[in-house]
Amino acid sequence: MRTLSEIDMTSKRACKAMGFPWGIAEEVGKNMRILEMFGLPGIRNLNQYFKNYKNQHFQIISLIAKSNVSPKIPYCPIVLGTNFLDQISILEELNEIKFNNVAYPLIFLPFVSRASEVIGKRLFLKLDNNEFLLNFNNNICSNFLNNKIIKAANFTTIRFLENIN
C-alpha cells in the first residue's frame, strides 16, 4: 500500500521525467493524490498515459472555448487540465463547455474538481457515459464503478451548477 505522500512524490517525479516542467509536475502530483484518495485509479491511468506519451502525439490547447474539437489527435489531459484550472474564472461564465477526443480523461478530472473549489460552485463532468458531480474538491459522486483505465473520452461536457442556498 502506498501513502498519499508517496503517490504525490512518485507522480511528480514521473511527470518531470517525461519532460513536463516542475510546475506542471506539482499539479499532477496533487491530482493523483486526489484521485487515489477518492478511490479512483489515478496511478494506473497516469502510468498508461506515460507509456503512450512518447509514441503518440497529443493535441495541446491554450485557450478554451465553449466548444473544443480535436478530430484526429486527442487532447493531452495534463495540458488541458492546467489551462482549464488557469482560466476557470473566465470559463465559469460559459455555463457549459464541451470537448471531444480527450485522452485519459480521468487524469483531467481532478483539475475540474480543484476548479470547483476555486470558483465555489459544484461542477458536473460527463465523460461519455461516466458522470461525476464534483463538490468543491471535497467529494466526487459518480456512476463510474469499474475502476478501469479510460483511454479516451469521445465527448466530454462540463456544466457549472448554480448554488442553491
Q: What is the arithmetic mean of pLDDT over 72-87?
A: 97
pTM surpassing 0.85?
yes
Cβ atoms of residues 75 and 59 within 8 Å:
yes
pLDDT top residue among 139 and 130: 130
Per-residue pLDDT reduced to its tens digit, 84-132: 999 999 999 999 999 999 999 999 999 999 999 999 999 999 999 999 9
Place 139 in a pLDDT band, splitting at 50, 70 and 90: confident
- CB contact set of 76 (below 8 Å; sequence gap of 6+): 58, 59, 60, 61, 103
pLDDT at 9 over 80: yes
